[in-house]
Amino acid sequence: EADIYQTPRYLVIGTGKKITLECSQTMGHDKMYWYQQDPGMELHLIHYSYGVNSTEKGDLSSESTVSRIRTEHFPLTLESARPSHTSQYLCASSDSWSPGELFFGEGSRLTVL
């Protein structure tokens, strides 16, 4: 079982609020990722990091931001949430020595009213 944790699992907030989705892993993985997934659709990469102080935007444009101050922690922040941000956000990590295998957290389901 993967040691990667996301909080909160579910969040319902009003438009304009600032939110931070937390993601932590205890496997010592250098690479971490945030994916966005809508129901019945494929995962889209929105941010990734290859290590501390390294962050990159993914294929899908997102108004969110991320930071990587510690190896184990990769939080995602939305400064001003909108209904269009309603989605499932999945955090993942990978070991450089196992190409392609992602270890996912349980996900954070965000609903913006």
Partner 1 sequence: KNQVEQSPQSLIILEGKNCTLQCNYTVSPFSNLRWYKQDTGRGPVSLTIMTFSENTKSNGRYTATLDADTKQSSLHITASQLSDSASYICVVSADHGGSQGNLIFGKGTKLSVKP
Applying CB under 8 A, which residues contact partner 1? Answer: 2, 31, 33, 40-45, 48, 56, 58-59, 90, 92, 94, 96, 98-102, 104-107, 109
Name the residue nearer to partner 1 (CB basis): 15 or 111: 111
Q: Residue 20: what residue type?
A: T
Minimum CB separation of residue 92 from partner 1 in Å reads 7
d(CA 34, CA 92): 6
Query: Edge-to-edge, what's the strand order for the sheet holding 65-66?
Result: 4-7, 19-25, 76-78, 65-66
Minimum CB separation of residue 50 from partner 1 in Å reads 9
